[in-house]
Chains A and B, each alone.
Chain A
Amino acid sequence: MNPLHFGKSIFFRWPWLTAIMMGLTTGLCAAAVAGENPFHVLLIMIKAAVGSPYDVGMTLVYTTPLIFSGLSVAVAYRAGLFNIGAEGQLVVGGMAATAVALRLSALLPDFAADTSFSGKAAGMIVCGLAAGLTGGFIGLMIGYLRARRGSHEVVTSIMMNFLAMAFTSWLVLEKFHSTDTQNPETSPVGNAFKAINFRGFDGAPVTIWFVIGILTAGLIAFLFDRTMFGFRLRACGENPVAATFAGIDTGRQMIIAMALAGVLAGFSGLGDILGGAGRFRIGFSSDYGFTGIAVALLAGGRPLAIIASALLFGALHKGALDLDFETDHVTRDLAMVIQGCVVLFASARWFNRIKSP
């Protein structure tokens, strides 16, 4: 087979694979320029991401929030909107879940101490509701402002991010501050609210929220492809004028889409907060909301592909962590380079315009 055709056929069948490969190539070449053996770097990253049960577990821990934030961005994206505010929504959602859990722990100590399965399930539902509702409310506001008042959602959601950060910081420091530490964090939540952790990952806090994330992706895929609601949403995203003429209230779709995006983003922080730390820390999110944009872009906004895409970004995040420990010349910033290049190549539309001869 002509190698030229081989490259061509791969590219057209799996453009995302090309994006990942080119991203990795660029990143590893950068590592080579920095004076590391690129193969060695790749080996370290793979070993760090999936080398042991603990490593796999940590990869899943980093994947969990990215599934939710990726879905959040994708839902808005399919409706023709750009949700850059997932970061703020997830912080507020996480704070609401923590606040409710802390208040309930104080009011109902028996309930909060119940660590049986039913107790934990009840705690999870309470926290999930609090996070989803607050995240959804912020999304709703952004959607309303866009649909009925014409404010661009990028601007309002960025501004919401600042509001969210400032408001949650105030809550943590003034209302829920932990008394036994100097860190800006709340007291730990009651045991019933701590997420169900999977054993077998050697101490890595993989929580039930990872499974919920996968189920949610399935649910969103079903919504998109098999329901009238999903159809209206996509119609509104692909051509709002045509959708209006077809009798779809596009403004309403926008509001619903942004609210749903907010709900999904609201869940993003729960794995970290209720699973790992058991408390809300200011700055706990390492930009999950913004990485979610990249996750959704690479997946082309398709919910099931987001699971794979989030896994890739989670593995990159975990894999890059060990570069600090194992190499002399490159740090975890290399993961940012690779992520950036992957997104660049995935979103390079000029690729897609080239037609197969």
Chain B
Amino acid sequence: MWQMINRMLLAWALIFMSAKFALAGELNPERRKIRVGVVFDKGGRDDRSFNAAAARGLDEAKRQLGIDAKYVEAMDDNAYEPAIRTFARKKFDLIIAVGFGQAEPMSRVAVDFPEGRFALVDAPSSQPNVRSLLFSDHEGAFLAGAAAIMKSATGKVGFIGGMDVPLIRRFDLGYRAGVRHMQKGGTTVSNFVGVTADSWNNPPKAKELALAQYNSGVDVIYVAAGASNAGVFDAAGAKSKFAIGTDSNQNAMRPGLILTSILKRIDVAVFQTVSDVQTNKFTGGKIEFGIANGGIDYAFDRYNEGVFTPVLRSKLDELKRQIAAGVIKVPDYYVEADRATFKK
């Protein structure tokens, strides 16, 4: 017993002796390059969907632009502001917050650090030093709806959203519009994983919802639920039915069963913002990404070439052209009039 305690004291002596090296390391002046701090939401960096798309942009910037990047994953809803504030206090050149939940904390920090530069994914901010990266998610969901109903044999398709908030309702509405555009009598079933931020990371619940939908005759499910997506893909594997992924290219997660993935090019938006900061071209304000400027797209690669037929693709390409040209106007949940006219 006493030996153990004395060994512990010895360990401490060693720890303090290693101090020399730690301090020596700190004295080296770091090469001046821009530092980027990223705060991910509860889905986490490796959700392979929403946050992962932002992370990819960051990695790309690290490789090509030689920036220094640090990231934090929020553990609870009160952790956003301290994390953003800490980055700001450490004078990071750009701070990126991923997820609408961070809109208020980021705006509050942006007021206190007027010389700081901030970027916010998925939510608007009125602060002049915040750049809002907004996406026309309803347009991508419209493509998903069209693809799903064309692939469906039963005429019944499903949607599973993460957290039940207007942002995800926007996916739902766009999806149902897409289904109805291709087939008047097409049926859509919608479910949400939950009402709190935990919904972004609850694959078991998502899997249960998906199994229930498949059992009710649905044969294609479009899922927008961050890290919970994996649960839906599990269910697709168990039932050998189709799923459509979101935000990142998720085709490889269940080759042959993931019809396609609706890409949200957060990576492009993040990369561009980092590059703008590096070349002193950063401005605040809103930047919209949609089908017209390549911010929203669908994924086609060797993992889905067997199921995602040329007929489907040519139809989707045609829809993309029509949406970009404004021929098709996809209803937007954020617009009150659209919400009202598009009843269940």
Q: Which A residues lie at the B interface, using CB under 8 A?
A: 3-4, 7-8, 10-11, 18, 21-22, 25, 28-29, 37-40, 42-43, 54, 58, 169, 173, 181-185, 203, 272, 276-277, 281-286, 321-322, 324-325, 332, 351, 354
B110 to nearest A CB, angstroms?
13
CA distance A28 to B1 in the complex (A): 21
Residues B104 and A183 in contact, CB atoms below 8 Å apart: yes
- When the two chains form the complex, which single residue of A40, A58, A283 contacts B22, counting CB atoms closer than 8 Å? A40
Residues A58 and B82 in contact, CB atoms below 8 Å apart: yes
B183 contacts the other chain (CB 8 A) = no
Interface positions of B from 81 to 100, Cβ below 8 Å from A:
81-83, 85-87, 89-90, 100
Find the B residue at minimum CB distance from A183. Answer: B101
A165 to nearest B CB, angstroms?
10
Find the A residue at minimum CB distance from B39. Answer: A324
Residues A7 and B6 in contact, CB atoms below 8 Å apart: yes
CA distance A11 to B196 in the complex (A): 46
Q: Which B residues touch A8, using CB under 8 A?
A: 2, 5
Q: Which B residues touch A185, using CB under 8 A?
A: 77
CA distance A172 to B237 in the complex (A): 37
B76 contacts the other chain (CB 8 A) = yes
- When the two chains form the complex, which single residue of A21, A37, A282, A332 contacts B196, counting CB atoms closer than 8 Å? A282
Residues A181 and B5 in contact, CB atoms below 8 Å apart: no
CA distance A173 to B194 in the complex (A): 12
- When the two chains form the complex, which single residue of A7, A28, A29, A58 contacts B9, counting CB atoms closer than 8 Å? A7
Binds A, one of B10-18, B204-212, B260-268: B10-18
Residues B6 and A3 in contact, CB atoms below 8 Å apart: yes
Total A-B contacts with CB atoms under 8 angstroms apart: 104
A154 to nearest B CB, angstroms?
24
Q: Which B residues touch A4, using CB under 8 A?
A: 2, 6
Residues B196 and A283 in contact, CB atoms below 8 Å apart: yes
A94 to nearest B CB, angstroms?
12
B19 contacts the other chain (CB 8 A) = yes
Find the A residue at minimum CB distance from B26. Answer: A40
Q: Which B residues touch A184, using CB under 8 A?
A: 163, 195-197
B296 to nearest A CB, angstroms?
20
Residues A283 and B76 in contact, CB atoms below 8 Å apart: yes
Given contacts A173-B195, A282-B196, contact A325 B166 (CB under 8 A): no
Residues A281 and B78 in contact, CB atoms below 8 Å apart: yes
Q: Which B residues touch A18, using CB under 8 A?
A: 5
Q: Which B residues touch A286, using CB under 8 A?
A: 75-76, 78-79
Residues A183 and B77 in contact, CB atoms below 8 Å apart: yes
Across chains A and B, which 10 residue pairs bring their CB atoms closest together, nearest first? A40-B22, A182-B165, A7-B5, A324-B72, A39-B19, A286-B76, A37-B22, A39-B22, A7-B6, A281-B77
Q: Which A residues touch B87, using CB under 8 A?
A: 325
Given contacts A37-B18, A39-B15, A39-B18, contact A203 B78 (CB under 8 A): no
CA distance A218 to B267 in the complex (A): 54
Find the A residue at minimum CB distance from B20. Answer: A39
Find the B residue at minimum CB distance from A29. Answer: B11
CA distance A198 to B22 in the complex (A): 36
Given contacts A283-B196, A286-B76, A324-B70, contact A25 B11 (CB under 8 A): yes
